[in-house]
Structure 1
Amino acid sequence: MEQRRPSDGAGEEAGFSGWRRMMVRLLHLYFRLTRSITFGVRAAVLTEAGEVFLIRHTYVPGWQLPGGGVEVGETALQALARELSEEACIALTEPPRLHGLYFNGRISRRDHVALYVVRAFRVESVKQPDREIAEAGFFPLDSLPDGVTPATRRRLEEITANRPAAADW
Structure 2
Amino acid sequence: MLGLIPLIRRVRHGMTLGVRVMAEDADGRLLLVRHSYLPGWHLPGGGVDFGETAADAARRELKEEANVEAEEPLAMAGMFFNPRVGGRDHVVLFRAGRIVIGPRPARNLEILAAEFFAPDALPQDISPATLRRIAEQEGRTPVSDMW
TM-score by length of 2: 0.91
**Pairwise CA distance, 1:92:** 1.3
> Closer, same or farther in 2 for the Cα pair 1:78/1:164, shift >3 Å?
farther
Aligned residue for 2:21? 43
Query: Is residue 77 of structure 1 aligned with residue 63 of structure 2?
Result: no
| Paired residue type of 2:133 | R
Q: Superposed, which structure 2 residues align to 1:111-122 within 5 Å?
A: 111-122=89-100
> Closer, same or farther in 2 for the Cα pair 1:64/1:157, shift >3 Å?
same
Cα pair 2:73 2:97 within 8 Å, conserved: no
1:56 to 34, 44, 62: 34
Q: Structure 2 stretches of 5 or more lacking a match?
A: none
Rg comparison, structure with higher value: 1
- Say which is worse superposed, 158-167 or 105-114, in terms of deviation: 158-167
Q: Following the alignment from structure 1 to structure 2, what is the Cα–Cα distance between the partners of residues 108 and 165? A: 23
Q: Following the alignment from structure 1 to structure 2, what is the Cα–Cα distance between the partners of residues 164 and 96? A: 22
Q: SS at 2:86's partner residue?
A: coil
Cα pair 1:84 1:90 within 8 Å, conserved: yes
> Closer, same or farther in 2 for the Cα pair 1:119/1:35, shift >3 Å?
same
Describe the superposition over 1:116-147 as per-residue Cα deviations: whole angstroms up to 9, x where unpaired: 01121101222221111111100001110120
**Pairwise CA distance, 1:27:** 4.0
Cα pair 1:101 1:165 within 8 Å, conserved: no
**Pairwise CA distance, 1:160:** 1.4
Query: Is residue 144 of structure 1 aligned with residue 119 of structure 2?
Result: no
Q: Following the alignment from structure 2 to structure 1, what is the Cα–Cα distance between the partners of residues 140 and 103? A: 30
| Paired residue type of 2:119 | L
1:135 to 105, 113, 129: 113
| Paired residue type of 2:92 | A
| Paired residue type of 2:108 | D
Aligned residue for 1:98? 76
Cα pair 1:52 1:140 within 8 Å, conserved: yes
Aligned residue for 1:31? 9
**Pairwise CA distance, 1:106:** 1.7
| Paired residue type of 1:64 | H
**Pairwise CA distance, 1:50:** 2.3
